[in-house]
């Protein structure tokens, strides 16, 4: 049991920490903002789990949205269960749920103690980075549906999408980790047993030297045949496409080093260079693993199935039947509840639809649809329950076509030869130079002393492979990816770093990118309202679920709640009621005054006792840092803004971006795509920054697509990078460190050339001893590691990243 709260927190909910503006609910000396938060507190309190509140202050999530009783009825379907469950026998079931609400140590504590809330739960194991909970429960004591309802009751509603039916998230590929482990084991032991070669050995111990050589030979074989596979595969693919990448000369150097070393051991003329070979493979694999690190909790490739629910209610003779989306057929009637997604194109047959299409079209305000009108898949119903007659299957809906267009855009983009790293170009010229030196050395020794030709030529390939260039690139990229990820700017891969550095033109989406969907700028024009009258307007607005009413109530609320009687809402038009005995109406101009109005902009009109008082005008709230960000970007990049919204914000955007910025409105997804292609045809390297499904095609087509998310675990369209919205203010800093990446790699490469020149001095003479190779190769690798990590980390520190 947990006792009271401090006086200065009396208006903050004990569970979620939000201000209790609309409602004050007291229990056990605590204040809650809604019955949902109070219910969760009582559940935890009754099960002795109030340590949840001790770990973090106000750790819960707001529970104002009521989850209907039969929401998870579809989980009783045996066919759906088979596709969601990972293991089942007669006694227990294993299932993994994605829980995007998970955010702190209190969540971990609660989710791993589910067995104390339900005795049928055997265990619950949480993967915090992926926001997943693997739950094992007993059957038939409980069911999959009851487990989902249990999680929802404590504030962790499972996110189950149509994508869960299509495929499971791929398991982590650990093959390169195993290859690194084997290379490290062999390298360490070979180094240990090579000391007799470095330091010499008594004649009486020659037998021991021979044993060490053969052991080194045996340990080098798995490195050659298994650990080096990534370099063989990559070089073979590049050669098949008639392109010489950096892995081709490295693979050649590994093979030549092994053959040369094996020949020395078999002929008894030396111990070879197994230590250098295995060491280079080990360091290069380590750098590649660091560079190829992926953010498992994020998805850079998503289709419409990740956005759609797994099932929907189908009406059959007034009975709701939960039906999986793939089974939805034209002619069926769907029952769409409040805050549910419309999964298929159809005709509205009952109710008034007030649909939020912001994620699909970019329109910032919900759209009113009357009975008989067509509604499209992807919109979210913000009003009451509606019924929709399906006219197209899910796979043929408008939303699906957006994704198909995205795929076509992606195919077109891949036909352009881009994304060729400057490292591959450097390595190509470096390889040509090494081949020339090897050829010149071979000709010289063939003329002067043919016996020294083989040792000299092989020594050149051993000492002068471009492994230093690969090491500097992979370790620098890996460290910068880590730094950016730490600052909530997640890149798909290392190539994206170079693409960002080449950007010349940045295209912004407006709604949800420049503006925030969580706040609106509201101003009042009309007869002056008293503080009491403003409280009355807030009380009436708080009774509605309309987005504008909610925003107005939040804007005007001062924590007091007045009594509302006779409340009536006309969907899409307005609301009315008696507030402490006074009659108020708020809504459209026509609804409030009974007259037509042609004025532009978004406004909510107010009448008191049937007399028009004035209007509250709504404008998009631009993120506070946008003016500063634009000033920093304009000197270095060309800028554009494209939006699916109307032109009411043109004047504000012109003031914000100034002259020279292209502003386009009423842009459909295909219009955005054509604009991106037009810029690319003019030679621009285009970065598109957007957040909605209407941006998916242009994000895919652009050279760098950056998806903006309020939280990085929320749904985002396919992209090259994902950035948290609050980190947009640091965009110029992120660009700067990406540009610095190239300079750090080149500086490291120049240093490695010094080591190569020293090694080539011995190699061309055929006098490269194992000791010299053992000194030069690790020295080069370690110095590069220090430079790349040190320089990039120091730079990040100075940039306060």
From the list 773, 762, 769, the residue with the least C-alpha distance to 253 is: 773
Check whether the bond before 172 is cis (ω within 30° of 0): no
Check whether the bond before 140 is cis (ω within 30° of 0): yes
What CATH class is the domain 71-160? alpha beta
- Domain ranges for the chain, please list them: 2-55, 71-160, 175-295+419-468+741-789, 307-396, 477-516+623-738, 518-622
What share of the chain in percent tops pLDDT 90? 7
- For residue 583, the cross-strand partners are 578
Q: Are 757 and 525 in contact (CB under 8 A)?
A: no
From the list 504, 492, 500, 424, the residue with the least C-alpha distance to 741 is: 500
CATH topology of domain 518-622: Calcium-transporting ATPase, cytoplasmic domain N (3.40.1110)
The pLDDT of residue 10 is above 50: no
Q: What is the pLDDT of residues 17-56, one digit of tens each?
A: 766 655 567 676 777 776 667 777 777 777 777 777 776 6
The residue among 761 and 524 whose pLDDT is bigger is 524
Q: Are 765 and 444 in contact (CB under 8 A)?
A: no
Total residues belonging to the chain? 801
Query: CA geometry: angle at 245 spanning 239 and 246, to 5°?
Result: 135
Residue 223: what pLDDT? 92
Q: In the numeric block, which tokens belong to residue 93?
A: 């079931």
From the list 595, 617, 591, 585, the residue with the least C-alpha distance to 604 is: 617
The pLDDT of residue 687 is above 90: yes
What are the E-state strand segments in 128-266? 132-138
Phi, psi of 521 (to 5 degrees): -90, 125
pLDDT (average), residues 565-570: 83
Q: Which residue has the tokens 């090694």?
A: 759
Most confident stretch, 6-20, 266-280, 670-684, 768-782: 670-684
Q: What is the pLDDT of residues 518-543, one digit of tens each?
A: 677 788 888 888 888 888 888 888 87
Round to whole Å and give the CA distance between 718 and 696.
6
**Cα-Cα end-to-end distance for the chain:** 41
The pLDDT of residue 176 is above 90: no
Q: What is the pLDDT of residues 318-370, one digit of tens each?
A: 778 888 888 888 888 888 887 788 888 888 888 878 787 766 665 656 777 87
The CATH number of domain 477-516+623-738 is 3.40.640.10: no
Q: In the numeric block, which tokens belong to residue 758?
A: 């020293």
> How many angstroms separate the Cα of 132 from the Cα of each of 61, 154, 155, 208?
17, 16, 14, 55
What order do you get walking across the sheet with 319-324 strand by strand?
319-324, 311-316, 333-336, 386-390, 346-350, 374-375
pLDDT (average), residues 366-377: 81
As a 3-state breakdown, the chain gives helix, strand, coil percent values, each rounded to 5, of 50, 20, 30
- CATH architecture, domain defined by 307-396: Distorted Sandwich (2.70)
Residue partners of 275: CB distance under 8 A and separation at least 6? 187, 190, 191, 194, 216, 770, 773, 774
Query: CA geometry: angle at 123 spanning 120 and 128, to 5°?
Result: 135
Q: In the numeric block, which tokens belong to residue 227?
A: 């650990």
Phi, psi of 629 (to 5 degrees): -60, -45
Q: In the numeric block, which tokens belong to residue 86?
A: 């990972």
Query: CA geometry: angle at 262 spanning 259 and 266, to 5°?
Result: 135
Global confidence as pTM: 0.69
Q: In the numeric block, which tokens belong to residue 29?
A: 């000396």
Residue 472: what pLDDT? 76
Query: CA geometry: angle at 420 spanning 417 and 424, to 5°?
Result: 140
């Amino acid at each position: 049991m947990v006792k009271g709260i401090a006086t200065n927190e009396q208006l903050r909910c004990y569970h979620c920490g939000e201000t209790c503006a609309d409602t004050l609910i007291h229990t056990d000396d605590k204040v809650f903002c809604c019955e949902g938060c109070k219910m969760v507190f009582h559940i935890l309190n009754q099960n002795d789990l109030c340590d949840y509140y001790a770990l973090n202050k106000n750790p819960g999530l707001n529970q104002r949205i009521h989850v209907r009783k039969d929401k998870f009825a579809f989980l009783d379907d045996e066919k759906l269960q088979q596709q969601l469950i990972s293991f089942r026998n007669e006694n227990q079931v294993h299932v993994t749920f994605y829980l995007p609400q998970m955010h702190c140590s209190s969540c971990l504590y609660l989710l791993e103690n589910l067995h104390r809330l339900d005795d049928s739960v055997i265990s619950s194991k949480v993967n915090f980075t992926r926001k997943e909970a693997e739950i094992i429960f007993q059957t038939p004591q409980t069911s999959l549906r009851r487990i989902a309802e249990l999680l929802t009751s404590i504030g962790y509603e499972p996110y189950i999408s149509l994508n869960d039916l299509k495929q499971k998230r791929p398991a982590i590929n650990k093959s390169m980790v195993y290859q690194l482990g084997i290379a490290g084991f062999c390298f360490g032991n070979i180094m240990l047993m090579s000391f007799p070669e470095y330091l010499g050995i008594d004649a009486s111990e020659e037998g021991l030297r021979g044993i060490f050589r053969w052991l080194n030979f045996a340990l080098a074989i798995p490195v050659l045949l298994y650990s080096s596979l990534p370099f063989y595969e990559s070089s073979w693919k590049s050669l098949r496409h008639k392109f010489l990448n950096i892995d081709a000369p490295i693979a050649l150097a590994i093979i030549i080093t092994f053959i040369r070393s094996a020949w020395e051991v078999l002929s008894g003329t030396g111990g070879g260079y197994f230590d250098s070979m295995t060491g280079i493979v080990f360091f290069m694999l380590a750098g590649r693993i660091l560079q190829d690190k992926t953010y498992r909790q994020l998805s850079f490739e998503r289709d419409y199935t990740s956005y759609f629910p797994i099932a929907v209610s189908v009406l059959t003779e007034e009975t709701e039947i939960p039906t999986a989306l793939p089974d939805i057929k034209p002619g069926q009637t769907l029952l769409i509840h409040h805050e549910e997604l419309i999964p298929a194109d159809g005709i509205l047959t009952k109710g008034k639809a007030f649909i939020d299409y912001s994620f699909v079209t970019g329109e910032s305000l919900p759209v009113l649809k009357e009975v008989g009108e067509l509604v499209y898949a992807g919109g979210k119903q913000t009003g009451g329950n509606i019924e929709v007659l399906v006219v197209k299957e899910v796979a043929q809906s408008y939303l699906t076509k957006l994704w198909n267009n995205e795929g076509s855009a992606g195919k077109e983009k891949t036909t352009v030869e881009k994304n060729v790293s400057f490292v591959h170009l450097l390595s190509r010229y470096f390889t040509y130079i090494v081949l020339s030196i090897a050829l010149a050395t071979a000709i010289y020794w063939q003329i002067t002393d043919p016996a020294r030709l083989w040792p000299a030529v092989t020594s050149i390939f051993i000492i002068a492979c471009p492994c230093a260039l690969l090491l500097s690139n992979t370790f620098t990229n890996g460290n910068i990816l880590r730094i950016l990820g730490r600052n909530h700017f997640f890149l798909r891969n290392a190539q994206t770093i170079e693409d960002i550095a080449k950007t010349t033109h940045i295209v912004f989406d407006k709604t949800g990118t420049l503006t925030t969907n969580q706040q609106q700028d509201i101003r009042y024009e009309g007869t002056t309202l008293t503080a009491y009258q403003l409280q009355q307007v807030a009380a009436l607005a708080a009774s509605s679920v309309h987005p504008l009413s909610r925003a107005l109530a939040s804007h005007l609320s001062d924590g007091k709640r007045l009594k509302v009687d006779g409340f009536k809402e006309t969907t899409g038009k307005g609301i009315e009621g008696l507030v402490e005995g006074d009659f108020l109406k708020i809504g459209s101009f026509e609804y409030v005054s009974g007259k037509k109005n042609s004025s532009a902009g978004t406004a909510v009109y107010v009448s008191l006792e049937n007399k028009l008082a004035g209007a509250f005008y709504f404008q998009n709230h631009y993120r506070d840092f946008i003016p500063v960000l634009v000033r920093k970007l304009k000197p270095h990049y060309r800028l554009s803004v494209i939006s699916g919204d109307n032109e009411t914000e043109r004047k504000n955007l012109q003031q914000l971006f100034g002259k020279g910025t292209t502003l386009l409105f009423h842009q459909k997804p295909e219009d955005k795509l054509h604009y991106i292609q037009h810029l690319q045809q003019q030679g621009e390297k285009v970065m598109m920054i957007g957040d909605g499904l209407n941006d998916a095609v242009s994000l895919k087509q652009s050279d760098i697509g950056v998806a903006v998310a309020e939280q990085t675990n929320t749904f985002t369209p396919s992209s090259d990078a994902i950035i948290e919205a609050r980190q947009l203010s640091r965009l110029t800093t992120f660009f700067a460190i990406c540009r610095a990446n190239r300079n750090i790699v080149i500086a490291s490469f120049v240093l490695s050339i010094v080591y190569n020149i020293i090694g080539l001095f011995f190699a061309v003479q055929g006098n490269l001893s194992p000791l010299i190779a053992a000194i030069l190769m690790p020295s080069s690798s370690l110095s590069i590691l220090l430079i790349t990590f040190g320089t990039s980390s120091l730079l990040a520190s100075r940039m306060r990243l």
